[in-house]
């Protein structure tokens, strides 16, 4: 069980928020899914914009800012969460065709408003009692192949 929380800001104000209850998920996958869903939501509503995506997961931010190219050179050998990472990179590339996109790490639980809201939404998803409302992340990730 887990949850993803997403808070999208526009003009320095919360614009839209998502809480996604999940099952069959690990922490790293939850953080990656949050990025996947945030970028998917942004992809259709932005054009010629500057976008800063913040995450408190160094694993997620480094996956795209630091490690992705070396993983690619090694044919993605032994990369965990590969389907998610490839799907996210595809969205990143598409967004960057017409927009500026920065992926930025922020320290968690450090009074960053967007991160605090996202954490609260992730906890809300985690606490969801109705199992039928939970996204089966194992099946979702399998569908990305």
pLDDT in 10s for each residue of the chain, 145 residues: 899 999 999 888 888 999 999 999 988 899 999 999 999 999 988 889 999 999 999 999 999 999 999 999 999 999 999 999 999 999 999 999 999 999 999 999 898 999 999 999 999 999 988 888 899 988 998 888 7
Beta bridge partners of residue 51, listed in sequence order: 101
DSSP 66: I
* 23 three-state secondary structure: strand
Helix axes 27-43, 113-127, angle to 10 degrees: 120
Closest CA to 30 of 121, 109, 106: 121
Confirm whether pTM is higher than 0.85.
yes
Q: Which residues contact 119 (CB under 8 A, 6 or more apart)?
A: 5, 56, 108, 109
CA separation for the pair 23, 140 (Å, rounded): 10
Beta bridge partners of residue 136, listed in sequence order: 23
* CATH at residue 81: 3.30.420.10
Domain enclosing residue 73, as ranges: 2-143
Considering its fold, how many domains does the chain have in total?
A: 1
């Amino acid at each position: 069980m887990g949850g993803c929380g997403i808070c999208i800001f526009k003009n320095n104000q919360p614009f839209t928020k998502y809480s996604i209850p999940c099952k069959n998920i690990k922490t790293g996958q939850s953080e990656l899914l949050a990025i996947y869903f945030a970028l998917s939501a942004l992809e259709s509503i932005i054009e010629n914009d500057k976008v800063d995506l913040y995450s408190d997961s160094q694993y997620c931010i480094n996956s795209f800012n630091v490690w992705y190219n070396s993983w690619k050179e090694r044919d993605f050998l032994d990369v965990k969460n590969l389907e998610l990472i490839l799907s996210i990179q595809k969205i990143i590339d598409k967004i960057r065709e017409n927009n500026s996109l920065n992926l930025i790490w922020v320290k968690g639980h450090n009074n960053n408003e967007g991160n605090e809201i996202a954490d609260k939404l992730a906890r809300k998803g985690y606490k969801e009692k109705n199992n039928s409302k939970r996204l089966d992340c194992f099946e979702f990730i399998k569908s990305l192949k």
